[in-house]
Structure 1
Amino acid sequence: MSVSIFDSFLTTPDMIAVFDDQAIVQGMFRFEEALARSQAAEGLIPEAAARAIASVCNAQLYDIPALIVAGRRAGSLAIPLVKELTRTVALYDKDSATHVHWGSTSQDVIDTAMVLATREAMRLLDTGLESLAAQLLELASRHLDTPVLARTLMQPAQVTSFGFKLAGWAAPLVRARARLREAGARALQLQLGGAVGTLAVMGGQGQAVAQRMAGQLGLRAPDAAWHTQRDEWVRLGMEVAVLTGSLGKLATDLSLMAQGEIGELAEPSGGGRGGSSAMPHKRNPVSAMIALAAATRAPQHGATLLAAMGQQHERGLGNWQAELAAWPQLFLSAHGALHALNEAFGGLHIDSARMLRNIDALHGLVFAEAASIHLAAAIGRPAAHELLETLTREAAQSERDLAGLLQEAVSADKQLAARIDLDELAALFAPVQAAAPARRLAQEQLPALRRALAS
């Protein structure tokens, strides 16, 4: 598989290699070798023919670009590949050449090759997910007591724990890893059905051949051919798309918290990373950028898989081919995002002092709800609400701190002063105390997330 310079910018060499032309063609040859050996073991073809076929099932022996060109004309890459394999076997043994690809069909070869490549792609995603989730959980445990502004509708809301926020970033990734494994266990299966999915040419031995092939290739043996039953396969693709969306959410928050005006987080810098020659004050969040690009692209590729499910009768016309082209793109995007965010969180700069300053800059207004509830216990909800509404308006207009205004109001009113403990009132405006409920929730979440990740 060749990718454009812009695709390579947004993914990793490792994932490109999984789906490159040679890898897919070698996967097709692995299918042909397993088919021949399994059929020989069941007595369907001579053992000598299986050995002859297996001896030349090596992609390096073939002109892959020429196969691709011929495949465009033939309508399937498998057609010229089988033709060249047959020709090559015939150079050594004409009788063995007659047994190449016996009883199989083009889609069997290509689907199985894509399954083999996808299995490697899944291993890369699994490793990246484990690393990123582990980093987030470690940071979460270290920042349970770090207060930070929670933001709703892009505006400051109340104070939360940064550890709780990190746990919230990690949780979808832990779930995604488990669901990818579950979906992969169902979808990563051999494809073998022959011309119309019935294995008719192999007679009663078709299922035995399939079992042997699956064992040789380390795949699940299917109950039947899934040429146009794409449900389990597409579900796996959808899990990759959902993962990419979760990475996009993480990248969105990271990029917003890294904005210069916010300055609570920053990606690693140095070595030319994220810099600007014209604007040296900038520290561009390039990892977040890559993950956001992936999240932007994934829905279209996922939609293509869904749109391609309505395949006609026993072999799809155009829709299966569209699925094949879209499939690798999901994995390229997801792994690019994972790799980029692993780099970012591996050297993330967390400015807890700036987090406090951003809280303080709101003059205590983010603590108004807690203060109102505390007052309501002493003077009733309507009176507490009215007092806080007046004082918050004054704090916003005068840029005075709400805590000071409230203490003045309580001290000036004998009835309030008799009912309200000023020390307790002041504690409500302490950021660490305000973050305590989030801290408790995170503490409850983290052990379960660690166990799920370890399993």
Structure 2
Amino acid sequence: MSVSIFDSFLTTPDMIAVFEDTAVVQAMLRFEAALSQAQAEEGLLPSESAAVIATACDARQYDIPALIAAARSAGSLAIPLVKELTKAVAARDKGAASKVHWGSTSQDVIDTAQVLVTRDSLQLLDDGLHDLTGHLLHLAEQHLATPVLARTMMQPAQVTSFGFKLANWLAPLVRSRQRLREAAERALQLQLGGAVGTLSVMDEQGPAVAQRVANALGLKNAPQWHTQRDEWVRLGLEVAVLTGSLGKLATDLSLMAQGEIGELAEPSGNGRGGSSAMPHKRNPVSAMIALAAAQRTPQHGAALLACMGQQHERGLGNWQAELAEWPQLFLSAHGALQALNDAFAGLQIDRARMLRNIDALQGLVFAEAASAYLAATIGKAAAHALLEKMTGEALSSGRHLSEVLAEAVQADEQLRAAVDTAHLQTLFDAVKATAPAHRLAARQLQSLRGDIAALNLRNTK
């Protein structure tokens, strides 16, 4: 396929190569070679004819731009390709030429080719997820006790653990890796049905031929699915969900890398993240690429859903639209994955800045913990009202909430007698405040570590 300069900027050469025109045509020719060989093994054509057909199934022998141009008027890339393949075979063996594409139809060739290149693209995604989840798991284990601000509604909320935040980025990606494999198991299947899906030309031998073709291509054999697009679309939507999760991660990364926040920074050097006008700039380019991918993806996913209402036994317009939309999902997903792998392989984490951002809030993010502690003495409503008043005084005076609250406790006889002042002060300790998040993250990481190890083990088989 041909991609624009701006598409290329947002994806990777590896994924472009998977869906490149020659790769798709070669996948179509792999189907044709496997079909003729299977038919020969079932006695439907001479083995010599199958060998001649296989010899001609090399995409390098064909003028692919001319095929693409001819496909526009023919209505399918398979039609001019089969025509040229038949000519190439006839030049070697006229008898064999009559058996080219025998018993098949254009959609069989194209759908199976899509399945073959998609299998390659899924391996790229799986490899990228292997790396990114590895980076995130390692960082999460390192930062279980690292305090960082949790932010809700774009505002400071409480202190959490950076390891907990990393675990929350990690978990959806592990799930996506699992779901993609599950969806692929169902969707990566041979398409072979002939003109209307009944394998009528090959008669009773059709199912045996289909099984042989599936075996040769390493695909699951199933009844034709010409206009049954449910499993195929589910696979595409899993890619869309993955890209959405990558976009969430990129959003948080970009916000934490803002100069005013400065808690994270992408790797720099060699012109990475620079500005054409401002020498001081350090732009989060990995986050930018992932965000761009996430913003483009919903439309492609929606297009797949819109294309599902395919008419009768062969779609008119909707199947063709699906073919064009399909690669875009994978191009965006892999671009986002690679960009974030680049970022997290050298991510810079400023723990001191995280603490300074907490300290700059004058202890206000610990107000809930202090209120909960005081509620045991004066009741929930009174404790809440007291903390509301004390936070207002801290803000107006520019003092730390712990100091203002300690004075209020000392000024109130009931509180002074009931409150452990030393314990109250520990509620304003940022590191100790990470304890609940630390515990939860440690438990979650143990489960995720096992899931990742199982996925990695299956990847080596």
TM-score band, normalised by the shorter chain? over 0.9
The whole-number CA distance in structure 2 between the counterparts of 1:192 and 1:324 is 17
The whole-number CA distance in structure 2 between the counterparts of 1:52 and 1:383 is 89
The whole-number CA distance in structure 1 between the counterparts of 2:53 and 2:297 is 39
Match of 2:265 in 1: 266
Match of 1:197 in 2: 197
| Structure 2 unaligned residues grouped into runs of 5+ | 455-461
Aligned counterparts, 1:115-194, within 5 A: 115-194=115-194
> How far 1:378 moved relative to its partner?
1.7
> How far 1:125 moved relative to its partner?
0.2
The whole-number CA distance in structure 1 between the counterparts of 2:66 and 2:341 is 39
> How far 1:277 moved relative to its partner?
3.9
Letter in 2 for 1:336: G
The reply to whether residue 424 of structure 1 matches residue 423 of structure 2 is: yes
> How far 1:281 moved relative to its partner?
2.2
> How far 1:87 moved relative to its partner?
0.3
Match of 1:405 in 2: 404
Q: Secondary structure at the match of 1:92?
A: coil
Match of 2:297 in 1: 298
The whole-number CA distance in structure 2 between the counterparts of 1:133 and 1:170 is 6
The reply to whether residue 219 of structure 1 matches residue 247 of structure 2 is: no
Aligned counterparts, 1:314-325, within 5 A: 314-325=313-324
The whole-number CA distance in structure 2 between the counterparts of 1:91 and 1:383 is 94
> How far 1:410 moved relative to its partner?
1.2
RMSD: 0.7
The whole-number CA distance in structure 2 between the counterparts of 1:252 and 1:175 is 19
Q: Secondary structure at the match of 1:409?
A: helix
Partner deviation per Cα, 1:42-89 (whole Å, 9 max, x = no partner): 011111110110011000011111111111110000001000000000
Letter in 2 for 1:268: P
> How far 1:237 moved relative to its partner?
0.2
> How far 1:385 moved relative to its partner?
1.9
Q: Secondary structure at the match of 2:328?
A: helix
The whole-number CA distance in structure 2 between the counterparts of 1:302 and 1:385 is 47
The reply to whether residue 94 of structure 1 matches residue 94 of structure 2 is: yes
> How far 1:415 moved relative to its partner?
2.3
The whole-number CA distance in structure 2 between the counterparts of 1:142 and 1:407 is 34
Aligned counterparts, 1:239-388, within 5 A: 239-388=238-387
Letter in 2 for 1:310: G
Q: Secondary structure at the match of 1:31?
A: helix
Once the two structures are aligned, what percentage of the paired residues are identical?
A: 74
The reply to whether residue 111 of structure 1 matches residue 111 of structure 2 is: yes
Q: Secondary structure at the match of 2:144?
A: coil
Letter in 2 for 1:27: A
The whole-number CA distance in structure 1 between the counterparts of 2:320 and 2:305 is 13
The number of residues matched between the two structures is 454
The whole-number CA distance in structure 2 between the counterparts of 1:369 and 1:96 is 81
Letter in 1 for 2:16: I
Partner deviation per Cα, 1:162-199 (whole Å, 9 max, x = no partner): 00000000000000000000000000000000000000
The whole-number CA distance in structure 2 between the counterparts of 1:288 and 1:335 is 13
The whole-number CA distance in structure 2 between the counterparts of 1:386 and 1:113 is 67
Letter in 2 for 1:363: Q
Q: Secondary structure at the match of 2:91?
A: helix
The whole-number CA distance in structure 1 between the counterparts of 2:381 and 2:36 is 83
Q: Secondary structure at the match of 1:148?
A: strand
> How far 1:379 moved relative to its partner?
2.0
| Structure 1 unaligned residues grouped into runs of 5+ | none
Letter in 1 for 2:414: Q
> How far 1:386 moved relative to its partner?
2.2
Partner deviation per Cα, 1:246-286 (whole Å, 9 max, x = no partner): 00000000000000111100000000000124222221000
Match of 2:459 in 1: none
Letter in 1 for 2:262: G
The whole-number CA distance in structure 1 between the counterparts of 2:55 and 2:275 is 55
Partner deviation per Cα, 1:262-319 (whole Å, 9 max, x = no partner): 1100000000000124222221000000000000111000011000000000000000
Letter in 2 for 1:141: E
Q: Secondary structure at the match of 1:159?
A: strand
The whole-number CA distance in structure 2 between the counterparts of 1:202 and 1:386 is 82
> How far 1:29 moved relative to its partner?
0.4
Letter in 1 for 2:243: T
Letter in 1 for 2:451: A
> How far 1:216 moved relative to its partner?
0.4
The reply to whether residue 28 of structure 1 matches residue 44 of structure 2 is: no
**Which stretch of the first structure deviates more once superposed, 437-446 or 388-397?**
388-397
> How far 1:383 moved relative to its partner?
2.4
> How far 1:321 moved relative to its partner?
0.4
Letter in 2 for 1:174: V
The whole-number CA distance in structure 2 between the counterparts of 1:237 and 1:387 is 54
The reply to whether residue 12 of structure 1 matches residue 12 of structure 2 is: yes
> How far 1:396 moved relative to its partner?
1.5
> How far 1:387 moved relative to its partner?
1.6
The whole-number CA distance in structure 1 between the counterparts of 2:313 and 2:378 is 75
The whole-number CA distance in structure 2 between the counterparts of 1:385 and 1:314 is 66
Letter in 1 for 2:314: R
| Structure 1 runs of 4+ with >4 Å offset | none
The whole-number CA distance in structure 1 between the counterparts of 2:244 and 2:380 is 42
Letter in 1 for 2:225: W
> How far 1:382 moved relative to its partner?
2.6
> How far 1:399 moved relative to its partner?
1.7
The whole-number CA distance in structure 2 between the counterparts of 1:132 and 1:7 is 22
The whole-number CA distance in structure 1 between the counterparts of 2:278 and 2:358 is 28
TM-score where L is the length of structure 1: 0.99
> How far 1:408 moved relative to its partner?
1.1
The whole-number CA distance in structure 2 between the counterparts of 1:179 and 1:97 is 43
> How far 1:136 moved relative to its partner?
0.4
Letter in 1 for 2:39: Q
The whole-number CA distance in structure 2 between the counterparts of 1:126 and 1:334 is 11
TM-score where L is the length of structure 2: 0.98
